[in-house]
Chains A and B, each alone.
Chain A
Amino acid sequence: MRQSGIVCSVLPVREQAEVNDIIKQRFLAELGKLLTFMYEEDRQTALAMYSKMFDDAADEEDLSQFLGSATRQAVVVARAYNARARKLQVESQSREQDGAEAEAAPDFVLAIDELYRQYFPAPAEEDQVLDNQVSLFEEPVQEAQEAPSAPPPAPETNAPRPVTPAETAPAAAETAEAPEADGESVQTQDGSTAEAVEKVFEQADPAAGIKTDEVDRFLEYYRPEDETLELSPAQEREGEAPVPPIEEETPPPEGTAVVRKPRVFLLILYILLAAPLTLAGVLVLLVPTLLFLALAVACAAAGAALLVAAFSGFTMLADFLLLFGAAVVLLALGLLFLWIFVWFIAGAIAGLIAGVIRLGGSWCYKEVAA
């Protein structure tokens, strides 16, 4: 790694511990700057996990080479991070605080944990699982051991695994495989994010070390706005509306069954009031609608009559041109009036009815957990 190489060459006389500390601090500082697209809490979690990795590593230069540049690790985290899904996940967890169920680990935590387990393979005796037990990490550990480019374990092979939410999440095994060892593509949640990340990732050579332009390119896609960052940059590029604050009415995330229950009294009252008002509105709108229809028919009929007369009864070119022009204008006006009629029917009247129904649905129904 160029980063560690620079440090070693510039400071050849310093003790190894100081060098390691500089490597760690620079890596974490750069990574922290790149991860500002995440929620602050998640960013701190990710940085703490990387810090723990450096603390557990015997040789931080070796670990730094394994991890590659901070930009590369930021890409790994960004691939496994979806701000909107994370927000919904946090919301659902806050609702279930009273429940005894374990929290589901975020995907980016699983991705970092997978890196940790690749670099610190668990001892063989820890992998042995009794017949009546189920190993949650059996396949990922085997993959990590079989990975050809995975670095050798650190001298202290009994280094403890970090305690992460991944160890409490049964669903962890099916998500987030780290791409580092064998270059596999990562399961992404946001296709546009993945495309943007790929552009940066293609330019980044892990063996070449950190480049300033890599960081700039990454920050073009993951432009930090504030500490609480409501949107991921991919969503901004797609021109989506900002994520509205989650309210009680917002449907809960997948996995939580929701039933819409009517507020009966309110619903009856709404129907009694809304039905006659809607009917009156429709009748009012029908007057201009039918008027435009009549105008359209009249203009079309007059235009057609003039056109027939122009082609059949006039021999002078000047008269023909005058009649032809008038017929074309009348037909055009007929088309315009016909379009206004269609707009009244499909836009105004249908929109009025749909709006009343939608309003009733939002006022008179409540969503409750099944």
Chain B
Amino acid sequence: MKKAGRVILIVVLAAVLLGAVCVGVGLMTGADTMRIYSALDERYNIAAYQEAYAQYAGELIDFARDVWQALTA
């Protein structure tokens, strides 16, 4: 178990290092995050998910606030 953990840690560190290098090279060679976001939104409809999560989180926060006010009133 300890040996497996060590191997996984090494793999994870290597992958993170590789990903960071790729991101850095991409940014330096002219990658545009807005262009990528629009492309991904077109493909996966990210804005809709974002809006749904925001609405859900807002309702959750409102519910917690109501409970708190009911308890403290």
Contacts and interface: CB of A to CB of B under 8 A. Distances in A.
| Chains A and B are bound partners | yes
Interface in A37-64: none
A340 to B, nearest CB: 10
Nearest to A338: B8
B29 interface: yes
27 contacts: A309-B39, A309-B40, A313-B39, A314-B39, A316-B30, A317-B29, A318-B27, A318-B31, A318-B32, A319-B26, A321-B23, A322-B36, A324-B19, A325-B18, A325-B20, A325-B23, A325-B26, A327-B19, A328-B18, A329-B16, A329-B19, A333-B12, A333-B16, A336-B8, A336-B9, A343-B1, A346-B1
B19 A325 contact: yes
A36 B17 CA distance: 58
Contact of A325 (B22, B30, B32, B39): B22
Q: Which bracket fits the contact residues of B?
A: 20 to 34
Contact of A347 (B1, B39, B40, B43): B1
B15 A321 contact: no
A208 interface: no
Contacts, number: 90
A327 B39 CA distance: 16
Interface of A: 305-306, 309, 313-314, 316-329, 331-333, 335-336, 339, 343, 346-347
A322 B18 contact: no
A321 B28 CA distance: 10
Closest 7 interchain pairs by CB? A325-B22, A322-B26, A321-B26, A332-B15, A329-B19, A325-B23, A328-B19
A336 B5 CA distance: 9
B12 A332 contact: yes
A321 B20 contact: no
Contacts of A335: 8, 11-12, 15
A319 B27 CA distance: 8
Contacts of B22: 321-322, 324-325, 328
B47 interface: no
Contacts of A316: 30-31
A304 to B, nearest CB: 12
